[in-house]
Amino acid sequence: MRLLTHNMLASNVRGATTGYPLTLEATKWCTKEVELNADFIRGLLPKIDWRALVDATRALGLPELLPEEQPPEEEIFAEGAADVEGSAIRRIHHALLEVHVQEGSLVCPDTSRCFPINKGIPNMMLHEDEV
Amino acid sequence: MADGDGAGAAATGKLAELPSGAEKGLPRRAKASSGRTLNTAQIPLVASHPDVYEPCDDSFALVDALLSDKAQLLTLQPRLCMEVGSGSGYVITSLAIMLRQLGSGAQYLATDINQHAAETTQATLEAHGVHADVIVTDIVSGLDKRLAGMVDVAVVNPPYVPTPVEEVGCKGIASSWAGGLNGRQVIDRILPAVREMLSERGWLYMVALEDNDPSDICHLMSEMGYASRVVLKRCTEEESLYVLKFWRDPHAVSSASPKSSGSESWFSQLPFKSLWHKNS
Ligand SMILES: C[S@@+](CC[C@H](N)C(=O)[O-])C[C@H]1O[C@@H](n2cnc3c(N)ncnc32)[C@H](O)[C@@H]1O
């Protein structure tokens, strides 16, 4: 599971108010390079919850990867930024699409219900009495 | 991971070398369970598990429908694609391979209610050097709030076989086909959930059986503002399979009546009663 998906997942357990964002606890994760697609990020960014993304990177022990506040779009999408090592768009791309959580869990912020992540796959299934 | 990457890169290299029109030169084996074209997942590389639905006629029909819509998918330029009920991963892997060959930078998500299926999907994706985030969940539960309105292409080969109601959603492989009354029990839950996920320009491709009453499905979707088209119809010895495509169309509600409207709208072009009941 990548942080893009973490950013989109919420807990639907009974008793949860928003169920979002899920607290990420990772015991194993890795990175895999993929080609940067600025248009993809441009389209996606308005839908991303920046706070949740930053918190997820911190949970992985990457406090330097993203700044507290989302950089302005002019900076992120500045001409040539994608080719500059360490630029905002590269960092955002890396955080959203290149980090894969393999083992760990997602914890509902309202109820503390824990959803396991095994072999990179989060299990969001609820028992009948939790729906 | 390093191993998986290596295998993936090898597979990628092989596929990338083929000219895009290569499939045209190959003998067409629409119903064969292996072979296929290099635009799709390769059967020998598709992972399996005793509790997971193997690629079947319905899976092949869905992939063939996607292939036949390739030009349209190229113009759509989807950002996010999603499969509900990915099973072996054959379909989402094929979609990812096909779109990658078209130069698309789309991202993929797959869900399945069965943990083994999710793992099998992941293994199939990895074997082909493509990626989707796979989630074990009921339809799209957990994604419904934040992913709403973001999916450009959704594909579904649902459990559609008419069965006793008790068989729906039970443990084991039966839940991959058991569709309850008229095979509609799971379909009727999937449709509203997937509609919420679709972007304004989003498309849904779904397999249905004659027994599911596809014209009724299309009618229900049109009442919710979706036009539809039969992308593919295929009769096998056991079943008549349809692949239906749905997209948002402001005129769909009115075109559910015989009045014509949207250019691609299948309702508006065909007297669908006669289409559906031709064989009955
Ligand atoms: C007919 S199989 C299709 C598998 C694969 N997509 C293919 O075409 O070969 C249906 C799949 O849907 C899954 N499924 C059934 N009910 C589901 C639900 N409520 N939510 C998510 N997946 C479900 C089954 O586990 C099964 O893998």
Per-residue pLDDT of chain B in tens (280 residues, 90 and over written 9): 333 333 333 333 333 333 333 333 333 333 344 445 678 999 999 999 999 999 999 999 999 999 999 999 999 999 999 999 999 999 999 999 999 999 898 999 999 999 999 999 999 999 999 999 999 999 999 999 999 999 999 999 999 999 999 889 777 788 899 999 999 999 999 999 999 999 999 999 999 999 999 999 999 999 999 999 999 999 988 889 999 999 999 887 755 544 334 434 444 334 343 344 333 3
pLDDT score, position B36: 54
Tell me whether residue A117 is in a domain. yes
pLDDT score, position B213: 97
Task: Give the closest residue (by CA) to ligand 1 atom 26.
Answer: B176
Alpha helices in A1-131 (DSSP H): 3-8, 38-44, 50-59, 73-76, 88-93
Tell me whether residue B184 is in a domain. yes
Residues of B in contact with A18 (CB under 8 A): 145
Between β-strands A99-107 and A23-31, what pairing exists: parallel, antiparallel or unpaired?
antiparallel
Record: contact A20-B146, CB cut-off 8 A: yes
Tell me whether residue A59 is in a domain. yes
pLDDT score, position B254: 58
Record: contact A10-B5, CB cut-off 8 A: no
DSSP type of residue A102: E
Tell me whether residue A79 is in a domain. yes
Tell me whether residue A127 is in a domain. no
Tell me whether residue A111 is in a domain. yes
Task: Give the closest residue (by CA) to ligand 1 atom 24.
Answer: B176
The answer, yes or no, to whether residue A47 has pLDDT greater than 70, is: yes
CA dist A125 and A115 (Å) reads 8
Query: Which amino acid, B278?
Result: K
pLDDT, tens digit, 9 for 90 and up, residues A67-119:
999 999 999 999 999 999 999 999 999 999 999 999 999 999 999 999 999 99
Torsion angle of alpha carbons A38, A41, A43, A44, nearest 10°?
A: 170
Tell me whether residue B105 is in a domain. yes
Query: For chain A, how many structural domains are there in total?
Result: 1
- Residue written as token pair 């839950």: B189
CA dist B212 and B242 (Å) reads 10
**CATH number of A22's domain:** 2.20.25.10
pLDDT score, position B37: 61
Q: Which two tokens stand for residue B162?
A: 């008419």
| Range of the structural domain that residue B166 is part of | 53-248
The answer, yes or no, to whether residue A55 has pLDDT greater than 90, is: yes
Average pLDDT over residues A18-30: 97
**Which residues, 6 or more positions from B188, have their beta carbon under 8 angstroms from its beta carbon?**
none
Query: Which amino acid, B9?
Result: A
Query: For chain B, how many structural domains are there in total?
Result: 1
What secondary structure does DSSP assign to B251-279, as a single string? THHHHTSS---STT-HHHHS-HHHHHHTT
DSSP type of residue A63: T
Q: Which two tokens stand for residue B264?
A: 């691609």
**Omega before B50 within 30 of 0, i.e. cis:** no
Between β-strands B80-84 and B107-112, what pairing exists: parallel, antiparallel or unpaired?
parallel
CB A7 within 8 A of CB A53: yes
Of how many residues is chain B composed? Answer: 280
Tell me whether residue A130 is in a domain. no
Q: What is the pTM of this model?
A: 0.87
Alpha helices in chain B (DSSP H): 2-17, 22-25, 57-68, 70-76, 90-101, 115-127, 187-197, 214-223, 252-255, 266-269, 272-277
DSSP type of residue B52: S
CA B180 to chain centre: 20
pLDDT score, position B15: 35
Tell me whether residue B273 is in a domain. no
| Range of the structural domain that residue A68 is part of | 3-122
Q: Which two tokens stand for residue A83?
A: 């080719």
Give the number of the atom of ligand 1 that is nearest the alpha carbon of residue B54: 9
Tell me whether residue A131 is in a domain. no
- Select the residue of B109, B119, B136 nearest A5 (Cβ to Cβ): B109
Cβ B86 under 6 angstroms from ligand 1: yes
Q: Is A38 on the interface with B (CB under 8 A)?
A: no
Tell me whether residue B147 is in a domain. yes
CA dist A33 and A97 (Å) reads 8
Tell me whether residue B276 is in a domain. no
Tell me whether residue A129 is in a domain. no
CA dist B64 and B67 (Å) reads 5
CB B222 within 8 A of CB B252: yes
CA dist B38 and B31 (Å) reads 15
Residues of B in contact with A5 (CB under 8 A): 109, 133, 135
CA dist B80 and A44 (Å) reads 9
Q: How far is the CA of B171 from the centre of ligand 1 (A)?
A: 12
**CATH number of B110's domain:** 3.40.50.150
The answer, yes or no, to whether residue A13 has pLDDT greater than 50, is: yes
Interface of A with B in 94-113 (CB under 8 A): 97, 100, 102
Please state the φ and ψ torsions of residue B221, each to the nearest 5 degrees: -65, -35
